[in-house]
C-alpha cells in the first residue's frame, strides 16, 4: 500500500512515519525526507508498498518557499543550530528617492530589483548542456565519506560541498524586501535551502528559508489529499495530526 501524507511543520519525517506506523500496525517507509521546518507532501509505503519506494525517489518535485534575505543561519533555514545572524533593514535616500537597504558589515546594500532576482534565477534553469552546481547545506542527510553531513556539521568539521541540482521552472509569487516567495519545480535531490542561500550570496545579502512546502511529487498534487482520513500521534508531548490518502502507483 502507498499513502500520500500531509506533513505539518515542527516534526521530522520520521515522526510522520512513527504516527502512521502506529495507525496501520505494519512496517512503514518514505520516499523522501522533508526537514522539520518544512511541510507538505510525503509519500509513504506500508507493508509490501515499501518495496515501491525506490522507484519514487527520483521523481521531480514542486515547492513553495519564502526566502528571508535579512537572515543567515548555519542550516540555511530558520531552524538554526548554533549560528543565526540577522541583518538590519533600513530606509535611506538614493537619487532623491527613499529606498530600502540591508545593513551588513557597516555597509548599506540596496534591495535588489525583481529584474536582478529574475536574471539570477534564469541562470539556474536546467539546460541539457549545462550543469548547475550549488552548495549543499552542511546540515543535511547527504552522505560524505559514508557519513551523514549533519553529523559532521554538529561537530563543526563539515566541508561545504557542491552538488549538481536541477531547477526546471520558477515563479515569483511575492516580493517585499527582504522576503521573496517562490514556486519552484525541481529535480530529485535539489535542495531549496541551497537556492535561497545561493541567491543571497550572489546579491551580497543573507539567504535563509523561513517557509517551505512540498506541493507535488511526480503527478501527485498536495491539494488532492483532503482531510477525510487521518492519524494522530503524540510527538514531544504534543498531539499531531497526519492527513493521508491511499494511492495507486499510477497516480504518482
The SS3 of residue 212 is strand
Grid coordinates 512513527 are at which residue? 18
pTM of the predicted protein model: 0.90
pLDDT of residue 156: 53
Distance separating alpha carbons of residues 240 and 244, to the nearest angstrom: 13
* Catalytic annotation, pick one of 15, 26, 35, 74: 35
pLDDT of residue 49: 94
What separation in angstroms does the CA of 54 have from each of 31, 155, 163, 221, 247? 7, 31, 21, 19, 16
Q: Going from the N-terminus, what domains does the chain have, and what CATH number goes with each?
A: 2-57+219-251 (3.30.2350.10), 61-217 (3.30.2350.10)
pLDDT of residue 196: 98
Q: Of 216, 215, 247, 212, whose CA–CA distance to 229 is shortest?
A: 247
Grid coordinates 497516480 are at which residue? 251
3-state SS of 107-127 is EEEECCCHHHHHHHHHHHECE
Tens digits of pLDDT across the chain (252 residues): 999 999 999 999 999 999 999 999 999 999 989 999 999 999 999 999 999 999 999 999 999 999 999 999 999 999 877 789 999 999 988 878 899 999 999 999 999 999 999 999 999 999 998 889 999 887 655 555 555 555 444 555 555 688 999 999 999 999 999 999 999 999 999 999 999 999 999 999 999 999 999 999 999 999 999 999 999 999 999 999 999 999 999 999
pLDDT of residue 2: 96
pLDDT of residue 145: 56
* Contact status, residue 67 vs residue 198, Cβ threshold 8 Å: no
115 is a catalytic site residue? no
Task: Find all residues with CB under 8 Å of 181, minimum gap 6, and list them.
Answer: 64, 65, 66, 67, 172, 173, 174, 175, 211
Amino acid at each position: 500500500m502507498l499513502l500520500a501524507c500531509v506533513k505539518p511543520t515542527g516534526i521530522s519525517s520520521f515522526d510522520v512515519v512513527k504516527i502512521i506506523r502506529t495507525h496501520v500496525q505494519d512496517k512503514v517507509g518514505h520516499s523522501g525526507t522533508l526537514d522539520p521546518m518544512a511541510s507538505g507532501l510525503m509519500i509513504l509505503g506500508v507493508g509490501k508498498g515499501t518495496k515501491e519506494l525506490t522507484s519514487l525517489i527520483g521523481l521531480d518535485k514542486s515547492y513553495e518557499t519564502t526566502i528571508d534575505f535579512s537572515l543567515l543561519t548555519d542550516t540555511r533555514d530558520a531552524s538554526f543550530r548554533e549560528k543565526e545572524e540577522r541583518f538590519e533593514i533600513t530606509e535611506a535616500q538614493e537619487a532623491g528617492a527613499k529606498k530600502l537597504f540591508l545593513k551588513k558589515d557597516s555597509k548599506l546594500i540596496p534591495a535588489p530589483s525583481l529584474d536582478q532576482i529574475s536574471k539570477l534565477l534564469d541562470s539556474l534553469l536546467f539546460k541539457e548542456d549545462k550543469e548547475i552546481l550549488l552548495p549543499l547545506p552542511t546540515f543535511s542527510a547527504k552522505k560524505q565519506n559514508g557519513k551523514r553531513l549533519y553529523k559532521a556539521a554538529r561537530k563543526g568539521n563539515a566541508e561545504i560541498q557542491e552538488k549538481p541540482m536541477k531547477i526546471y521552472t520558477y515563479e515569483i509569487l511575492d516580493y517585499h524586501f527582504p522576503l521573496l516567495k517562490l514556486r519552484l519545480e525541481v529535480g530529485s535531490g535539489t535542495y531549496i535551502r541551497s537556492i535561497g542561500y545561493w541567491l543571497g550570496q550572489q546579491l551580497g545579502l543573507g539567504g535563509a528559508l523561513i517557509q517551505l512546502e512540498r506541493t507535488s511529487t511526480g503527478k501527485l498534487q498536495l491539494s488532492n489529499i483532503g482531510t477525510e482520513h487521518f492519524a494522530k500521534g503524540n510527538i514531544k508531548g504534543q498531539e499531531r495530526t497526519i492527513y493521508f490518502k491511499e494511492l495507486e502507483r499510477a497516480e504518482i
